[in-house]
Copies of this chain bind each other. A is one copy, B any other.
Amino acid sequence: MVNDPVVLIAEDEIAQADVLKFNLEAEGFNCHVVHNGAKALSYLENDLPDVLLLDWMLPEMSGIQLCQKLREQDHTKRLPVIMLTARGEDIDRLRGFEVGADDYVVKPYLFSELVARIRAVLRRSRPELDDEYIQHKDIKMDLVRQKVTRDDKDINLSALEFRLLRSFLAKPGRVLSRDQLIDLAWGTGIHVLDRTVDVSVRRLRSALNEYGGEDVIRTVRGFGYALDE
């Protein structure tokens, strides 16, 4: 019998950490919570989790600093790290500055997506946990690699188009209003015009139909759009 994967959550907001822990445990992860960088470090002296969920903003020692420190220490050098960042917090620094995170998730996140990311990171060390993807008709979406294929041919989507398609795939058939789509694909609190959704849907459509095939997105006049079933 294999032990449940262990997740260390480094997050200063107690309420948020608790909700996270509770939900992840229901998904079969074993969680420990620490509320600042120092405690994370001292925890890691004794125990190595399978993955570290690291809030970008931590008191005393920021997520970046902690992450860099981890990369210096021999025993934590290969520890998988997933960063939790708020939108707008300079994500470039994450990639460009070679902080060394394995992945990052932007808040507010879809809980199911976070789980998928964790599973993906774990897959490296524990290959019995497999990849997470969504399929609908001939469209396959790999949540982790951010890749989409249709009829086994690669579809090239921008980040926004990817999130838009993901919103549709999450609830196939359901009519989503433009406002809902903005919340789901752009993010809560982001302000763009209704018409911008139309344009992005058009771009998504034409990307999906690049190699032929029927239009899978149904326009529902006066309401919004839906994925055809």
Contacts and interface: CB of A to CB of B under 8 A. Distances in A.
Given A15-B86, A145-B175, A111 B184 contact: no
Contacts of A221: 158-159
Interface stretch (A20-28, A61-69, A92-100, A208-216): A20-28
A28 B189 contact: no
Contact of A107 (B3, B15, B31, B158): B15
A57 to B, nearest CB: 10
A170 interface: yes
Given A145-B175, A146-B175, A188 B16 contact: no
A180 interface: yes
Contacts of A179: 30
Nearest to A173: B145
A118 interface: no
A106 B217 CA distance: 39
A132 to B, nearest CB: 9
A133 interface: no
Interface string A5-30: 00000000101101111110110101
A24 B171 CA distance: 12
A3 B175 CA distance: 10
A111 B108 contact: no
20 contacts: A2-B177, A15-B86, A18-B107, A18-B108, A18-B188, A19-B107, A19-B111, A20-B108, A21-B108, A21-B183, A22-B109, A26-B112, A26-B167, A26-B184, A30-B177, A33-B188, A144-B171, A145-B174, A146-B226, A159-B223
